[in-house]
Structures are given as structure tokens and as C-alpha cells.
Amino acid sequence: MAQFRLQGSKVLAVSLTGDNVKAKNGSMVAYDGRMAFKKMSGGGEGIRGMVTRRLTGEQMTVMEVKGHGTCFFADRASEINLVHLQNDTLYVESSNVLCADGTLRTGTSFTGLRGASQGNGLFTTTIEGTGQAAIMSDGPAVVLRVSPQYPLTVDPGAYIAHQGNVSQSFQSGVNFRTFMGEGSGESFQIRFEGDGLVYVQPSERNTVGGEV
């Protein structure tokens, strides 16, 4: 299995010994040893995945990297966060995926109105199995715990990913910026309940539903 490690907070080093990883297309910045690169269709899910992603509007272009040596990945100086999966599923926005172990399966999952509020369709990317994945954030990501006693409400523009036995629902009518005395901003939130982790970033992507 590939070995992931961070070089600082914005470069990912992946050591390969004949195995492979799936990475965001164009994110390789350097490598040593012998590597082969292959562009994959449908987010690494083949023709069926390509059709699914076109229908759902979830965009993800990846490449397979295979060989012996170390490959370095980065993307627009984004912060990189390592996620360890143990027979688990990570739900993550496709634009925040940097790299995943080749043993992990990728796909798409229906997310309901949360996706619509972000203008990213009604689906999000799933990464499942046992292995490591690297996700990106605009600024250092914060990992928040969700428990049965303490549900979590998140601004959809700051949401990156979540994992665990967590359910999510879409809420409207509450505006975070209203509490701060500002007149515009998000009026949609995502409520997470159950037991798991939610990853958020300290800056917000633009969302279609922000001014509704």
C-alpha cells in the first residue's frame, strides 16, 4: 500500500513500491524513481463513472500514478489534510480531492439539497474502503466531532467532507452573518447528526444559494 506523508502543509509525498494511487489530474509537481502516469475517465470509475458524473454534474478528473519511488503532489498552494479510512466512507466535494490510495473505491452519492445550495448538483464524491486519502482546503482545515448529544450545523460554503455514521439534512431561514450584523450571506446550513467527523475550511467557496 502506498505511504502518504506531508512535506510541510501544502505538498504531499507518496512513496510507491509498485502500487498505485489516483490523484487530481495535473497535481504532480515532482517525482523520483520510475513512475507511469495515465489519465483516467469518470473520476477513475471508467466509462460508467464518466456517464454518471456527467449526469450528476459532479466533476472529477484524475490520473493514475504507478511505479517505484516517491511522487509529490500539490495544487494551487492549498492546505492538505490526510484522512485514514478503515472500512469507511469519506464524502467529499470533488474539487477538494487531491489523492487517494489505489485500493480505495471512488464513486458518487446523492446528497440532496445541500448540493443544490452549492450549485454543485445533487451529488458528491465518495471514497471508500481501507487506505489513505488526501483532501485539500483553503486554509488549515478544522475537524469537528459530531455526536448524538451534540449535532453540528455547518455553513455549506465552508464544508469540505465528512465521514462516520452521520446523517445530514438541509436547513434554511438562519443566516450566520445576520448574527454578526451583516445584511447578506448564506441562508442555508447543513445539519449533521449521529457519530462522526466533519471537515470544514476557514474560508467560503461561492454558493448559488447564498443570497436566497
State residue 176's pLDDT score. 53
State residue 59's pLDDT score. 57
Burial (0-12, 13-18, 19+ Cβ within 10 Å), 24: buried
Give the tens place of pLDDT for each residue, 131-155: 999 999 999 999 999 999 999 999 8
For the chain, percent of residues with pLDDT exceeding 70: 73
Full DSSP string of 121-177: TTEEEEEEEEEEEEEEESS--EEEEE-SSS-EEE-TTTEEEEEEEEEEEEEES--HH
Is residue 177 very low, low, confident or very high in pLDDT (cuts 50, 70, 90)?
Answer: low
| pTM for this entry | 0.80
Give the tens place of pLDDT for each residue, 24-60: 999 999 999 999 999 886 544 444 444 334 443 445 6
One-letter amino acid identity for 77?
A
| Residue 78 grid cell | 492549498
Whether 122 shows a pLDDT value over 60: the answer reads no
